[in-house]
């Protein structure tokens, strides 16, 4: 088990001309389950490969258990890694696959056997020990890959999109197994995924990375607990990345600023009250108003203070327990998505007036930074 500390970590190509990762500062505590999320091309896998030593660190420090390991080759770092492609040794049986690292460490035969069988038992692989990888299903192979790193008792577990090659049902099941495994072993783990559901369900803390923009200081957007990122995203990028379906964004301008609450005017003319601290802004500043599909109220009667937005229903996705209504609204390019429980009375092409509770709104300035929310969101 180990603490991982990243200080001003950079990864660049072409001798420092093209950056993939810039100024990554991060402290992963002992025993913590951290997820790196971000769209493809944000460098999350690269960051993981830098931590295990498969990718060189251009500058900055990487510390494992307090020791700088920048120049330590991967075989000496004592970390375990589960690859997206499983990367099992095809010419070895499951047993040999799992014992490979232990044999290299010159461990005694008895101890190797004991460790392999124990890991196999906990992953329900005992009956597969003498099979070769090609005779197994995707889920089984993935479990072997996990078992192979467990037997080493590494200081740190690294997962590089381990579930992305599995089908949906298996993915949910493996997600549970991974959560159980972490609860049992309590080993520091880093999990890379582009699937925010995996990150939200598994991780103690989430690190959101973005593709490095031109001239940006860093591409580390926000670090925090899953619900903290969900409720208090610090900028537009995190707000739009976390949560499914995506948060709706309206362009607006400030009518009144305040420490407790503010008033904004959407470009279409609708005026809304929001509970955000805009004391740093001026009246008339351009802002972006964000509201999650789940935070919108279905019935206009419930809208406090007349906080309502009207749109025309385009399509309705009925999922059974809930429905997503896609509204046309002049201020939104794509669609204004609203989640409702009961959509029976709704018809396409009809107008729909939804409530936008002031405490559920997010507000961002022109640079995309969030104005702090002043009231906790309204829960049912």
- Residue choice 24, 62, 81, 254 for contact with another protein (CB under 8 A): 81
As measured in angstroms, the least distance from the Cβ of 83 to another protein is 5
Is residue 378 within 8 A of residue 306, CB to CB? The reply is no
27: left (phi over 0), alpha (psi -120 to 50) or beta: beta
For the chain, the straight-line distance linking the first and the last C-alpha, in angstroms and rounded, comes to 40
Question: Helices (H) and strands (E) in the chain — how many of each?
Answer: 8, 20
| 3-state SS class at 45 | helix
Q: For residues 380 and 27, give the distance between their C-alpha atoms in angstroms, rounded to a whole number.
A: 35
Verify binding: residue 130, another protein, rule CB under 8 A. Answer: no
How many other C-beta atoms are found inside a 10 Å radius of the C-beta of residue 121? Answer: 11
Number of residues that bind another protein (CB under 8 A): 35
As measured in angstroms, the least distance from the Cβ of 67 to another protein is 18
Letters for 278-317 (x = contact with another protein by CB under 8 A, - = none) are: ----------------------------------------
Spatial strand order of the sheet with 351-355 comes to 336-340, 323-328, 308-318, 351-355
Considering only residues 100-129, where is the footprint of another protein by CB under 8 A?
Answer: 100-101, 104-105
- Residue choice 83, 246, 255, 374 for contact with another protein (CB under 8 A): 83
As measured in angstroms, the least distance from the Cβ of 134 to another protein is 3
As measured in angstroms, the least distance from the Cβ of 95 to another protein is 14
Is residue 133 within 8 A of residue 97, CB to CB? The reply is yes
Q: Which is nearer to another protein, 136 or 332 (CB)?
A: 136
As measured in angstroms, the least distance from the Cβ of 84 to another protein is 8
Q: Which is nearer to another protein, 134 or 282 (CB)?
A: 134
Q: Which is nearer to another protein, 46 or 278 (CB)?
A: 46
Handedness of CA 289, 294, 295, 299 (dihedral sign): positive
Q: Which is nearer to another protein, 115 or 231 (CB)?
A: 115
As measured in angstroms, the least distance from the Cβ of 182 to another protein is 19
Q: Which of 101, 186, 181 is nearest to 142 (CA)?
A: 181
Q: Which is nearer to another protein, 52 or 332 (CB)?
A: 52
Considering only residues 137-196, where is the footprint of another protein by CB under 8 A?
Answer: 138, 141, 148-149, 152, 165
- Residue choice 20, 52, 123, 146 for contact with another protein (CB under 8 A): 52
- Determine the interface stretch with another protein among 74-82, 188-196, 221-229, 325-333 (rule: CB under 8 A): 74-82
DSSP string for residues in 87-101: ---TTS-HHHHHHHH
Sequence-distant (6+) residues with CB within 8 A of 209 are 21, 36, 37, 38, 42, 43, 44, 47, 219, 220, 221
Verify binding: residue 73, another protein, rule CB under 8 A. Answer: yes
- Determine the interface stretch with another protein among 75-83, 216-224, 357-365, 368-376 (rule: CB under 8 A): 75-83
CA distances from 364 to 106, 238, 251, 280, 286 (A): 57, 12, 10, 12, 9
In degrees rounded to 5, what are phi and psi of residue 62?
Answer: -120, 120
- Residue choice 13, 59, 61, 85 for contact with another protein (CB under 8 A): 85
What would you measure as the largest C-alpha separation in the chain, in angstroms?
Answer: 76
- Determine the interface stretch with another protein among 37-45, 79-87, 230-238, 316-324 (rule: CB under 8 A): 79-87
CA distances from 169 to 44, 83, 161, 185 (A): 25, 20, 16, 25
Verify binding: residue 66, another protein, rule CB under 8 A. Answer: no
As measured in angstroms, the least distance from the Cβ of 153 to another protein is 12
Give me the helix-helix angle, 94-104 and 109-122, nearest 10°: 130
- Residue choice 90, 215, 269, 320 for contact with another protein (CB under 8 A): 90
Residue ranges in contact with another protein by CB under 8 A: 52-54, 73-76, 78-81, 83-91, 100-101, 104-105, 132-136, 138, 141, 148-149, 152, 165
């Amino acid at each position: 088990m180990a603490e991982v500390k990243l200080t001003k970590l950079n990864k660049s190509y072409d001798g420092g001309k093209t950056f993939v990762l810039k100024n990554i500062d991060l402290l992963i505590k002992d025993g913590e389950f951290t997820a790196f999320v971000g769209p493809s091309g944000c460098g999350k896998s690269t960051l993981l490969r830098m931590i295990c030593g498969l990718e060189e660190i251009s500058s900055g420090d990487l510390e494992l258990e307090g020791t700088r390991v920048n120049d330590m080759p991967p075989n000496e770092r004592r970390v375990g890694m589960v690859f997206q492609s499983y990367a099992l040794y095809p010419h070895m049986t499951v047993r040999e696959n799992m014992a490979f690292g232990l044999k290299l460490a010159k461990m005694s035969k008895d101890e190797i056997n004991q460790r392999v069988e124990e890991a196999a038992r906990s992953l329900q692989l005992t009956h597969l020990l003498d099979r070769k990888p090609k005779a197994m299903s995707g889920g089984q192979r993935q479990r072997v890959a996990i078992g192979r790193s467990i037997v080493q008792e590494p200081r740190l577990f690294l997962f590089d999109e381990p579930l992305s090659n599995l089908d949906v049902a298996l993915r949910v099941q493996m997600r549970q197994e991974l959560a159980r495994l972490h609860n049992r072993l309590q080993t520091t783990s880093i999990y890379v995924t582009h699937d925010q559901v995996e990150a939200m369900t598994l991780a103690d803390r989430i690190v959101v990375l973005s593709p490095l923009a031109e001239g940006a200081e860093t591409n580390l957007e926000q670090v925090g607990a899953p619900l903290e990122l969900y409720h208090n995203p610090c900028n537009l990028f995190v707000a739009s990345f976390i949560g499914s379906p995506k948060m709706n964004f309206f362009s607006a301008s400030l009518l009144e600023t305040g420490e407790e609450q503010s008033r904004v005017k959407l470009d279409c003319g609708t005026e809304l009250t929001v509970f955000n601290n805009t004391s740093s802004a001026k009246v008339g500043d351009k802002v972006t108003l964000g509201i999650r599909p789940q935070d919108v109220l279905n019935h206009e009667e419930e809208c406090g203070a007349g906080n309502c937005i009207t749109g025309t229903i385009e399509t309705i996705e009925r999922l059974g327990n809930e429905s997503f209504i896609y509204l046309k609204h002049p201020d939104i390019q794509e669609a204004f998505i609203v989640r409702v429980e009961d959509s029976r009375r709704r018809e396409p092409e009809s107008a729909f007036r939804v409530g936008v509770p002031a405490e559920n709104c997010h507000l961002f300035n022109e640079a995309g930074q969030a104005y702090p929310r002043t009231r906790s969101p309204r829960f049912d």
